[in-house]
Amino acid sequence: GGGGGRHAQLAAANPMLANLAGLGGGGGSNSLETEVKVLESPSVLKPVYDFVRESKRKAGKNVDGMRFSSWVKNVDVSLEKGTSVLNISYTDTEKSLVLPVIDKISQEYQDYSGRDRRQDIANAVSYLQDTIETLGPKAEASMQAAQSYALTQGLGITDGMPAAAATGATSS
């Protein structure tokens, strides 16, 4: 349509994008291309579509024929070449909807990214707890074996240390 298309940018100030801009090491561009796909996904855009549909319905428009698959073509997400900046553009015949829709896309994306991060953190915590449970008894057994060996061999806590460190002496 001949509506009010405007551009908004999600700069690398977004914490999720700062990670993916290559600042966190590893292939930044692949990660950013993934973020473009995430932004274009129904997970992010479906709530925005519902918002647009409801806004139009409240404004007295007939939305019976409105379909997500057609509406999503009004949203364009692109990576600005050579940067970590994602450009989002949205076109609508109702200019008053453009900025609220771009804001909503940004918010939904950040909510989605937050859920993603929380899940990653939960997985990491779970892994570390499992590792502690596995390694704790092994560490305890190793310590007991070392102490037992030291006792049977008549070794003290200072045996095997450099003489100066063992006696606390300093050479002057």
The whole-angstrom separation of Cα 42 and Cα 78 is 16
For the cut 90, the answer to whether the pLDDT of residue 19 exceeds it is no
Pick 56 or 30 by higher pLDDT.
56
Burial of 27 (0-12, 13-18, 19+ CB in 10 A): exposed
Q: Quick one: pLDDT at residue 104?
A: 92
Strands ordered across the beta sheet of 75-79: 6-10, 86-90, 75-79
For the cut 80, the answer to whether the pLDDT of residue 153 exceeds it is yes
pLDDT category of residue 79 using cuts at 50, 70 and 90: confident
Taking the model in full, what pTM does it have?
A: 0.53
